[in-house]
Amino acid sequence: MENINTLFATALRKARRYSRKLWVRVVMMGLLAVVATVLSQLIEVYIPEKLAQSLSGDAADRLLQLIASAMLSVTIFSITVMVSVYQSSSTQWTPRVHRLIMTDKTTQNTLAIFIGAYVYSLLGIILRELGIYVDERAFVLFWMTVLVLVVIVVYLIRWVLHLQGFGQLLDTTRQVEDVTRAQFKDRLARPCLGAHPLTGDVPEGTRTLKAWESGYIQQIYPEALNSIAEKHDVHFYLTQAVGHFAFLDAPLMEVEKMGGELDWDALYKDVQDAVFLADVRNYEQDPRFGLIVMSEIGSKALSPGVNDPGTAIDVITRIGRILSDYKDETKGEPETLLAHLHVPPIDPADLLRDGFGAVSRNGAGTLEVQQRLQQTLAGLMRHPDSGLCRAARDMAREELARALETLSFEPDRKALIASSDPEVRPN
């Protein structure tokens, strides 16, 4: 039963990962179009002859031709808009944000519907030309085509409404915030991915499992890793967290053998199927990456070419809202779900540096940005978690000192000190 649960959890993670790819949704809609075409032929057999002959095949032909011609144009237009938004978002905000826009559900579903409807119309036209759908038995084909048209209209309206904010700064930052907060909550709902928190030193006598290629640890399948550990009677200690860049032959994790002989080659091969290395980071299992992307948006807004401190202030507020959900992973549920796996918890100091570091450095000479940063850090200093409070206090004191050195106008310096928390003000 446990193996079944492990397989199901791993398959669910892989399915969720592939579901974010556009081609997967397009293929699924194309297959659905084939099913709809075949289904209409099967249902036609059960339609009374008098009712089946109430509609001619010409009526269905006109609708199929309409869908075929319209969907080709609409799909090309939608792809053009999508590519333009990808390029503009990469140029204006950060190249890392366009990968999130590429996984936008509304965009992917709309394109998949359009292409699926195009495939459906082509199949219908081909089957009509082959004589499979005769004029006397086109009743179901007609109403199935009408249903496809209704779906097209619904998604076309959704697409037009979506384009009103698609790729704009507010919509983009909101998307990054939503996905980062979702990954953050998922991680904290299962502290350390459901494994033991790795807070101390690795036990002595372990053997180092090295990376088989250079790349970011983009995702791991913790249930599969725990199952592999049980199979080989070992414990895994992940010394590198998700999002870390591992060089070829660099330490990836430590392996502790609990007893008996260890087939290292078989273990090494099994681990490669449960740890995914790639050339880029993504948002899955990596909330720190989302914070970095938000920080890059705020930092880009402070560049001389953009000069938009309001965006940096908005980003700081959003990051503070995300971090307010933090809780210590070492104080999670007492019952560990994955007993053979040890994962390092997220350090609150790392979260603060990822979120505020770049914005604070690039906005050190902007009073309004530094005031909002100090106000946000002061709010986090009142957080129930002592670790986050301590990290926020340290960063507030450090960034206040940096800003005071940068600001030369004395009234600005006094205004910034007044905006900071009394605990971090200089003596």
CA 359/CA 402 separation, integer angstroms = 12
pLDDT tens string 17-76: 666 677 777 788 777 777 777 777 777 667 776 766 666 677 788 888 888 888 888 888
Structure tokens given for 239: 């010394």
Q: Sketch the domain layout of the chain as residue ranges.
A: 2-167, 190-278, 287-332+346-419
pLDDT tens string 398-410: 999 999 999 989 9
pLDDT tens string 337-377: 788 999 999 999 999 999 999 999 999 989 999 999 999 99
At residue 342, what are phi and psi to the nearest 5 degrees?
-125, 120
Structure tokens given for 268: 């090494």
Parts of the chain with a pLDDT under 70? 1-20, 44-45, 49, 51-56, 90, 134-137, 332-336
Q: Residue 71: what pLDDT?
A: 87
Q: Residue 418: what pLDDT?
A: 92
AA identity, residue 268: Y
Where helices occur in 347-385 by DSSP H, the ranges are: 348-362, 367-380
Crossing angle for the helix pair 367-380 and 386-406, nearest 10 degrees? 160
Q: What share of the chain is helix, strand, coil (3-state, %, to 5)?
A: 65, 10, 25
Q: Residue 116: what pLDDT?
A: 86
**What is the pTM assigned to this prediction?**
0.80
At residue 254, what are phi and psi to the nearest 5 degrees?
-105, 140
Task: Identify the residue whose tokens are 């990962």.
Answer: 17
Buried b (16+ CB within 10 A) or exposed e, 372-381: bbbbbbbbbb
CA 355/CA 293 separation, integer angstroms = 8
Q: Are the beta carbons of 352 and 293 closer than 8 angstroms?
A: no
Q: Residue 1: what pLDDT?
A: 46
Where helices occur in 93-194 by DSSP H, the ranges are: 98-102, 105-129, 139-163, 169-189
User: What does the H/E/C string look like for 178-233?
Assistant: HHHHHHHHHHHHCHHHHEEECCCCCCCCCEEEECCCCEEEEEECHHHHHHHHHHHC
Q: Residue 11: what pLDDT?
A: 66
CA 170/CA 235 separation, integer angstroms = 45
Q: Residue 261: what pLDDT?
A: 81
Q: Which of 231, 248, 249, 251 is nearest to 240 (CA)?
A: 251
Radius of gyration of the chain (CA): 28
CA 243/CA 194 separation, integer angstroms = 18
Beta strands 275-278; 215-220: pairing state: antiparallel
Torsion of CA 184, 190, 195, 201, to 10 degrees: 50
Query: Per the CATH hierarchy, to which homologous superfamily does domain 190-278 belong?
Result: Pyrimidine nucleoside phosphorylase-like, C-terminal domain (3.90.1170.30)
CA 404/CA 423 separation, integer angstroms = 16
Q: Residue 18: what pLDDT?
A: 64
Q: Are the beta carbons of 315 and 357 closer than 8 angstroms?
A: no
Structure tokens given for 92: 């204006």
CA 360/CA 404 separation, integer angstroms = 12
